[in-house]
A and B are shown apart, each in its own frame.
Chain A
Amino acid sequence: MSRPARRLLDPATLAGIRDLRLVALAVVEGFLSGEHPARRTGPGIEFSQYRSYEPGDDPRRVDWRLYGRTDRFFVRESEIDSDVTVRLLLDASASMAQRGSGLSKFDYARFLAAALAYLAHKQGDRIAFRPLGGESALGEPSGGGAPSRDLAAVLHQLESLEPAGRWPAELGVEGLAAGRRERELVVLASDLCQHTSEILDVAVGLRLLGHEVIVFHLLSAEDLAFPFEGDLELVDLETGERVRGSGGELRAGYLRRLTVLLAELRRRLDEVGAVYEALRTDRPLDLALRHFVARRQRC
């Protein structure tokens, strides 16, 4: 990937772009430059482009009118809509508001969701978006997160969303995605701050329904290093609970438990064949897009 393209994926750069569509555009175009093809083309109704005839092409696709005008064989190509549904589940609970040295986890997740939605739209996929928790000026997404090809609606929904509250209690897997008959690509972006294993259970449940599941675990640099020193009072963003102690005193135990937790999450999701990827919110988004594209191609 070229350097300017990578720069477009940098969260610090993205933070300066107010328009979420532009963010998505920048991310996806930067990501796709030189690496991945654009939307598939082929026989269809919606015109995309002409190209020269090549041996092996179906002669029925030759545009004979154009041949009459130019005396050369051209093949008419159309954009092909896929039957793949990309379902974006975004954790919008209050803990996602954690802001480290750069973007908050929620902003990072918002950019990620926008980029994925754009990428999916570009590939002709249907998009379903469903925030989990949070507050939106628009209320619940229309259709309860039903798939559509309306990218603008998804981006608008993303822009109006703010993190708040807790992960929805009694959240059933059935209402989050299609049933077993339709296979979807489900992307869950969350900080996985769960009180028991409610978020993990959702991911596992979706996978057991037969969907392709990618879990993006968002971690800030502070989450991974716990660099705090001195006397601290750490406040839980969701419950308001407080823990006091000195940074050095708390660090070792915290890091040890975090390592165990990450290994356990990866093990549980690997067991059911879901993709687990820990994303640092101070790192570019290309890693997430690469995983998405790889898994998309399996659909």
Chain B
Amino acid sequence: MLTWLSPLWLGALAALALPVALHLLGRGRVRRIEFGSVRLLREGTLSKRRSLRFHHPLLFAVRCLLLVALAAALAQPRARQPVGARHVEPLLLVERALLERRGALGAGHRELFERLDAARRGGARLSTLETGPPPWDLWSQLREADAEAAPGRPFEVFTLDRLALLVGERPAFDREVRWWSTSETREAPGGVPLTSAVRLRRRVLLAADAERQEDAGYLLAALAAAAQHSGVDLTSRRAAPRQAMAAFGEGADVVLWLSALPVPADLFAALEPGSRLVSDGAERWERVDSLFRVAGGESGVIGVSRLEPPDPAESERAETAPSAVLWEEVSGRPVLEASRREGVLWFRFRSRFHPAWTDLVGHPQLVRWAEDLLQGDAGDPGGDDRRAAGAEVAQPGRRAAGEGPERFPYRWPETLALSLVAVLFGVERWLAWSGAPRRERA
């Protein structure tokens, strides 16, 4: 079945009148001459006469066809693939950030990644979805994919739990759409996974030494960007390390401890299970310049001046449960570790959040890590995602007449018409050249 996206161009077929008129006028221009020595012409021009008889109508036909093909190409013909030829393997639409953060997400979303891997092994094509600043324009990306994909081909959408960022009415698709998300999901009829209706809120307590105020500024900026990106309501307070406990008061979900002092035991005890604690390296430790690479990251290696405890006894590692190394430098020593202690997830950064110490500051990777920190899923399988998707995105909207995905997605008729234009143009030039007057062969 064929349709035209720009049918007005078919009106250009009226241009056919041009070669027809030229042809008719050209025919009328033949001059009739009575001549005695026609014999001298006839003998040598028999083949040419045949050529002329054949040539002019052919050239005329080719020129007409060229115009028809050109008009057809400009009218953008589209075709719908026959039902029997529909694809059955799904198209995987995967959020790019999900792929980049696969290592950090750990085993908590094993089912999601197993499904993704199995589909890819089965030959399913993968298309990435870009995540930008909120509001997340997922719908237009899905509409675009829907327009280009074969009718009936199922979609499987893999995203981080950013569905709260979605705005606008969810479009309806004439295909099965299955959703996979890292969020705590409950499957809604028709697809989009929803979390609770409560918007995620995070309270941050920052305790920084006076000489680390600049470090604190960079870290808070990264957290603010991450919060905006992932739709988290963020509130932060600052306090000197020695007054940290006093400032803790109402509690905090994330504590940033940027100080040479050790984390006070009472502060640690006050933290609720599921809270996060971030600490940096002590300056009296040994400084080693190195590089590290973030698994799944896209920006290559990041320079770092790592702080190494000179005495392992001094390391706080002994006090904690076995930690997971999230980032490690090229020689294998940890740059960022995470360990769980009394329900609190403690991140130890073996350097400082300062440009003089690491290129991580100002690097997108810091924002991504901050986002994980706020979401609670970095190294925290089964975290407490409480973000919400708006109710309007849960169910597909009603499609108005004439809207919706392109019903004739196949462009091969247009490609065919364009190819035909090219071929006919070549033939026309060749015929015109070969029919042009030229010197006879001796």
Contact = CB atoms under 8 A, between A and B. Distances in A.
Interface of A: 95-99, 105, 191, 193, 195, 222-223, 228, 230-237, 239, 241-246, 248-250, 252-254, 256-258, 261
Given A98-B35, A231-B29, A245-B49, 16 more contacts: A96-B36, A97-B34, A193-B39, A231-B30, A233-B30, A233-B32, A235-B35, A236-B36, A236-B42, A241-B42, A242-B38, A243-B38, A245-B45, A246-B437, A249-B437, A258-B37
A215 B244 CA distance: 134
Contact of B37 (A96, A223, A239, A245): A223
B39 A244 contact: no
Given A231-B29, A253-B45, A253-B440, A191 B36 contact: yes
A153 B182 CA distance: 125
Given A244-B52, A245-B52, A250 B33 contact: no
A234 B437 contact: no
Interface in B178-216: none
B41 interface: yes
Nearest to A257: B40
Contacts of B30: 231-233, 244
B284 interface: no
Contacts of A232: 30-33
B44 interface: yes
Given A243-B42, A249-B437, A252-B439, A193 B48 contact: no
B266 interface: no
Nearest to B29: A231
Nearest to A99: B34
Contacts of A254: 37, 40-41, 44
A236 B32 CA distance: 11
Interface string B43-67: 1110011001000000000000000
Nearest to B51: A245
Contacts of B44: 253-254, 257
Contact of A95 (B32, B36, B45, B48): B36
B49 A235 contact: no
B11 interface: no
B341 to A, nearest CB: 99
A237 B26 CA distance: 25
B26 A243 contact: no
Contacts of B439: 252
A249 B439 CA distance: 7
B32 A235 contact: yes
A256 B441 CA distance: 11
Contacts of A257: 40, 43-44
Q: How large is the interface on B (under 10, 10 to 19, 20 to 34, 35 or more residues)?
A: 20 to 34
Interface of B: 26, 29-45, 48-49, 52, 437-440
Instruction: Enumerate the 4 nearest inter-chain pairs by beta-carbon distance, A residue then B residue, closest first.
Output: A236-B38, A95-B36, A248-B437, A253-B44
Given A249-B48, A253-B440, A193 B36 contact: yes
A235 B36 contact: no
B48 A237 contact: no
A261 B38 contact: no
23 contacts: A191-B36, A193-B36, A231-B26, A231-B30, A231-B31, A232-B30, A234-B33, A234-B34, A236-B35, A236-B36, A236-B38, A236-B42, A237-B34, A241-B38, A243-B41, A244-B49, A245-B48, A245-B49, A245-B52, A248-B437, A249-B438, A253-B440, A257-B44
Contact of A234 (B26, B29, B35, B438): B35
Q: Which of B26, B30, B41, B437 has the most CB of A within 10 A?
A: B41
A245 B41 CA distance: 10
Contacts of A241: 38, 42
Contacts of B440: 252-253, 256
A250 B52 CA distance: 12
Contacts of B48: 245, 249
Given A244-B52, A245-B45, A236 B39 contact: yes
B40 A234 contact: no
A27 to B, nearest CB: 24
A193 B34 CA distance: 13
B17 to A, nearest CB: 22
Contacts of A236: 35-36, 38-39, 42
Given A243-B42, A244-B52, A249-B48, A223 B32 contact: no
A233 B30 CA distance: 6
B93 to A, nearest CB: 63
A231 B38 CA distance: 15
Contacts of B29: 230-231
A239 B34 CA distance: 11
A243 B35 CA distance: 10
Contacts of B40: 254, 257-258, 261
A223 B36 CA distance: 8
Nearest to B38: A236
A107 to B, nearest CB: 14
B335 to A, nearest CB: 84
Contacts of A256: 440
Contacts of B438: 249
Nearest to A250: B41
Contact of A105 (B26, B33, B36, B39): B36
Contacts of B26: 231
Given A228-B31, A228-B33, A245-B49, A234 B41 contact: yes
A243 B45 contact: yes
A258 B29 CA distance: 27
Nearest to A238: B36
Contacts of B45: 243, 245, 250, 253
A119 B418 CA distance: 79
Nearest to B40: A257
Contacts of A191: 36-37
A233 B33 contact: yes
